Each structure stands twice: as structure tokens, then as C-alpha cells.
Amino acid sequence: MGVGAWRPTRVVTNAEVCEHIDSTDEWIRQRTGIESRGWADAETSVIDMSVHAGAEALAAAGVDASSIGAVIVATVSHPYQTPAAATQVADRLGATPAAAWDISAGCAAFCHALAQAADLVRGGTAEHVLVVGVDKLSDFTDLTDRSTAFLFADGAGAVVVGPSDTPAIAPTVWGSDGSMWDVIKTRTSWLEHRGVTDPAAVEWPALQQEGQKVFRWAVFAMAPLALRAIEAAGLTPDDLDAFIPHQANMRIIDKLASQVGLPDHVAIARDIRTTGNTSAASVPLAMHRMLAEGQAASGGYALLVGFGAGLSYAAQVVVLP
């Protein structure tokens, strides 16, 4: 029913990233399509970012926070094991006593949360649900790691899901492959930090990934997933107006679009160019930009695809708010 976003004001160029790693602006652009990314300041939390994006989504939807029956926050970077960020987001927005919880499905988490929200509304458990995809990956990025330092960024995107006279969120196609759990992960367990008096003795649990394995998996496994999601919606690629995949890598985005057989009229989200990889926030942030800049129109069919750590993946076709 509405979409909102929060983006950092600090723009981090490839040149700045390359101050810490042996790389170049040209190499990063060629390999990923990223020209810059945004990092939040130290005082801005995942909760702060979620509240800003959620408030905009509520205003765009014309829904009062008191009408929200559930708040779902998709994130891997809330720095507290418990409680969930969602409870504080609900409170600060005025949605209390809405049910509230976080989900962890890596870069696929927003599409997972959207599936939950749609089912909650269809089942009558909640009339309106606020879904937030948010990550502050700068807190968990090793600036000296040449394989990841240029990828990750911060941001939040949110949508409001509510009742509709006609279906506007198609069935979700999703799954996981736990045999590849170790290709995207934090490099240490929190338990390794227990009782450690010298911080230098244990590495901070920064994100690490095996880029080539992720690239091959995403390109070859996600195209069939996307086609199944289109079929589940009762559509064909020709019926789509927009393609909004997880913003992991420009080459992955282009290869997926080609393998799915998207016609020229379908607008393709390439928010990664100036936003970087914001994990759970990437799909709603890209959706927000496409609508704000007129790349896609309200009421059009958009294919959403999320994939990432777990390995987890999910896809669905939605009618753009």
C-alpha cells in the first residue's frame, strides 16, 4: 500500500574504500557495478533507520500506526541477540501493541517477511502489517578485506501490506540450501568473544563470503526461481513492468534478466550503482527509487527476487504501490 526508505547522507566513494585495500575504482566498477555506497554514522542504529523508513511507508499508505497489527523487521545487523529490533520500532512508531519480531534470512529476508505479511493479512491475523528491510552492514565490514570491503552498505526500506479487493501479492516461491551455509557468514561466533580480555585476540565477527561461489549459484539457481514465481502469479515475463532483484552485483542482475528472458520494456532495478549491497534493505530501497524516479509506475507488476546467506532465497510478483 505504500513504500518508504532511509538512506545515509554520507557517500563513500570507491576511492575512499581503496584507501584500505589493494584495489581500484575501475576494478570495483567492472566487477560489481558499484560506484559509491552510503554508510550511516556511528550514532544511527538499525532501529533509527527502520523508524524513518516505516514512518514514510505509513504516510504513503495513508495508514495510521495504530492500525498496524504486526511489525516484521528483516535484518542481520541488529547488534543485540535479544530483544528484537521490531518491538522498539513498533513502539517508536506508535504501533504498540502490535506483534513484532525480527527475521534473519540474509539478503533474501525482505522477500521472506513480505510473504509472512501477505499470509497474515489473508488469514485475518492482522489487517495491516509493516515490513521493514534494514541493515547497517558497515558495522560488520572488515575495511581491510579485499573481497568484501567495497560491497556492503547501510539503508532501510519499508512497505505496508493491507487488505485488497484483488490479489496484489502473488504466492511466494522460496527455499534454502544449507549445504552452502559457509559461503556467506560472519567469520567468528559470538561465543569466541566470551571471556576475552584482549580485543585483538579474537577477530570481530565481520561478514565474509566466497564471491565466485555466490556468483555462480545466484546466476544459475535464481533464474529458474524467478520463472517459477512468475508462473505462480499466472503471468509471463512479457506481463511484467519491473524486475527488482537483490542488489548484490550488477553482473548478476544483468545475467538474471537475460536468463529469465525479460523483454526490453521491463524496467530493471540497478540501485546498487550508488547504494551498494544493503542486504535485507536492497529490494525495498530499489523499489522506492524506481517509483520516486519514474522508472516504474504504480500499479505495475514487479518481480522481486531475494537471495543470500543461508543460503536462502525467495521471489514473488507484486503490484507496485
Residues labelled as active-site residues: 107, 246, 277
| Cβ 280 vs Cβ 107: under 8 Å | yes
What's the start-to-end Cα distance of the chain, in Å? 5
CA distance 159 to 3: 4
CA distance 127 to 122: 9
The partner residues of 101 in beta bridges, in order of sequence, read 72
CA distance 313 to 315: 7
Name the pairing type of β-strands 267-268 and 301-308. unpaired
CA distance 68 to 104: 21
The grid coordinates listed for 15 are 576511492
- Please count the CA atoms within 13 angstroms of the CA of 308 that sit on its side-chain side: 31
Q: Could you tell me the strand order of the sheet in which 2-6 lies?
A: 2-6, 154-161, 128-136, 68-74, 99-103
CA dihedral 40, 310, 270, 277 (to 10 degrees): 20
H helices present in 94-198, as ranges: 109-122
CA distance 85 to 49: 11
- Please count the CA atoms within 13 angstroms of the CA of 51 that sit on its side-chain side: 15
3-state secondary structure of 195: coil
Amino acid (1-letter code) at residue 8: P
The residue written with cell numbers 527455499 in the block is 175
| Cβ 156 vs Cβ 281: under 8 Å | yes
